[in-house]
Amino acid sequence: MPFANLKVPAETLTPGSKQKLIDAVTDAYAAVYGERARATTLVLVEEVPEGGWGLGGTVLTAEMLGRS
């Protein structure tokens, strides 16, 4: 079963945007593995809360991510 785990900043995607991501990742797996993989492709979109991101030892904030 193909599996993708996408982590995104919390509250940055609409339900429609999440659906687009899920569709695009599923399509990509099906393009590589064939249509047989579509029905078993699992895509998990995880929303990471404020302060849950770090880059180079620095905690990233919404402001730093351009979301304030």
Class of CATH domain 3-60: alpha beta
pLDDT, tens digit (0-9, with 9 covering 90-100), for 19-54? 999 999 999 999 999 999 999 999 999 999 988 988
Q: What mean pLDDT is predicted for residues 11-18?
A: 93
User: Nearest Cα to 21, choosing from 34, 2, 8, 35?
Assistant: 8
Alpha carbon distance 2, 6 (integer Å) = 13
Alpha carbon distance 3, 53 (integer Å) = 22
Bridging pattern class, strands 58-60 and 53-55: antiparallel
Is the model's pTM score more than 0.95?
no
Task: Give the start-end residues of each E strand in 1-68.
Answer: 3-9, 42-48, 53-55, 58-60
- How confident is residue 68, by pLDDT bands cut at 50, 70 and 90? low
